[in-house]
Amino acid sequence: MSRFDQRVLAVDPLRRAEVLTWLEAGLEAADPERLTREALKASERDGPAVVIALGKAAPAMARGAAASIEVIGGICVSDHAEPVPPMLLAMTGDHPVPARRSFEAGAAALESVTHAPPGARLLALISGGGSAVCESPRPGVSPEYLNTVTRALLKEAASIEELNLVRGHLSSIKCGGLARAAGRVIDTLVISDVAGADPAIVASGPTIPVPADPRGAREVMARHHIEIPASVWDAMTMDVGPLERPGVTLLADGLDAAKAVATAQTGPHRVSSEWLEGEVEPCLHRFLAAAGTGVTIGVGETVVEVTGSGRGGRNTHAALMAAERLTGTDDLFVSFATDGLDGESGSAGAIVDGTTIERGGNPRQALAAFDSGGYLARTGDLLLCPATGTNVADLWILWRQ
């Protein structure tokens, strides 16, 4: 049974059904519960474990761990409610900007690692979204300041590298902070939303120490016109101390999902070698220009600067721009947030074709108001599904006849 709501999609039913089958295959390849269970069963490590699961895939990863090893306690923090093993404290944090619930979860996570039994193994289950849902500011940094800085960087479409650099110098958890609080190495399993990148990027690497670069963080903040009070600069430059890098197992990323989409269909197809990143419009232009006949699959995470108060997300924005270019063709374009949540669009993305603009009219006003979600809701092109329980970035698919 498909997890997608097919009643609201206006594209051809046969093509729609085929595309949704591909997306299901992509999600199955990145199934956190199965991947975690299999990885821990294959591991030679044993003994009781305290688990710290953070991110959008945290509940599923926690269930996989509990099915494979002896879990005696810990915490699971995600952005949505989902069944969690009873021995874990289940908490819901704020996303994409940390607020009260995220700071409460951050305090609880630090408590979990600092009070873990000395003989127990510490196991971190990390996935995308963990940066926002679990947070604790460094001494000298207020929660309000950290919230404001994160909001400003997201609004101005800062890159994930810029976000992580700044957050890592304001947080007591990120960039190995959780492991430093524990005073020991934390074994780490990762579901990555940044294919091919260092796992330390995922959720800002709470268990993976990276070299400090406060001046680089300050330069990013200056470019985005963020003031740094003296107390914050003192916090950013504090000596956090060294720590050994843990063993890290990468379970899956967006490239695995893209390859599964490719395998699920039999016609001409290719997986794009370019990671989708940067501003939506030039990224979309390159993706469409490089695509040949048949199915082209891309994976990545673009950014869009919010300029209006409408209902939109980076995937619906990309889909509406693609729909303009597809007008009068038999081509079809899919943009899909693998976590099931695309910004403020109220959807997971969209499936558009050559008839979308004919049905909806000129999209320029909707794009300018950041209301791509509202536009595509009216045309019946939104891709709707509940939270998927995983997060391996976004998938773009162009089906060119």
pLDDT-derived band at 390, boundaries 50, 70, 90: very high
Relative to beta strand 276-279, strand 49-54 is unpaired
User: Domain 6-28+254-400: which CATH class?
Assistant: alpha beta
User: What is the pLDDT at residue 144?
Assistant: 96
Does the structure show a pLDDT above 70 at 59? yes
pLDDT-derived band at 157, boundaries 50, 70, 90: confident
Instruction: Determine what percent of the chain is predicted with pLDDT higher than 70.
Output: 98
Least confident of 173-182, 241-250, 321-330, 386-395: 241-250
Does the structure show a pLDDT above 80 at 11? no
**Edge to edge, what strands does the sheet with 248-252 contain?**
89-92, 71-78, 49-54, 121-127, 187-191, 248-252
Least confident of 90-104, 250-264, 265-279: 265-279
User: What is the pLDDT at residue 303?
Assistant: 86
Averaged over 95-101, what is the pLDDT? 94
Mean confidence (pLDDT) of the chain: 92
> Mind listing the pLDDT tens digit for each residue in 103-113?
999 999 999 99
**The dihedral sign for the CA sequence 279, 280, 281, 283:** positive
Least confident of 5-9, 78-82, 180-184: 5-9
Distance CA 216, CA 199 (A): 20
User: What is the pLDDT at residue 7?
Assistant: 64
User: Domain 31-252: which CATH class?
Assistant: alpha beta
The pTM (predicted TM-score) of the whole model is 0.90
pLDDT-derived band at 174, boundaries 50, 70, 90: very high
> Mind listing the pLDDT tens digit for each residue in 188-221?
999 999 877 788 889 999 999 888 899 999 999 9
Q: Pick the residue with more confidence: 290 or 241?
A: 290
pLDDT-derived band at 135, boundaries 50, 70, 90: very high
Averaged over 367-383, what is the pLDDT? 94
pLDDT-derived band at 242, boundaries 50, 70, 90: low
CB 267 within 8 A of CB 278: no
pLDDT-derived band at 371, boundaries 50, 70, 90: very high
How far, in Å, are 18, 91, 291, 361 from residue 380 at the CA level?
A: 18, 35, 26, 13
Does the structure show a pLDDT above 70 at 8? no
Residue with tokens 């999209």, as numbered in its chain:
363
User: What is the pLDDT at residue 212?
Assistant: 86
Distance CA 27, CA 287 (A): 22
> Mind listing the pLDDT tens digit for each residue in 274-284?
899 989 999 99
User: What is the pLDDT at residue 302?
Assistant: 92
In the numeric block, which tokens belong to residue 312? 């939109």
Instruction: Determine what percent of the chain is predicted with pLDDT higher than 90.
Output: 77
User: What is the pLDDT at residue 10?
Assistant: 75
Asked if domains 6-28+254-400 and 31-252 share a fold, the reply is no
Domain boundaries, the chain: 6-28+254-400, 31-252
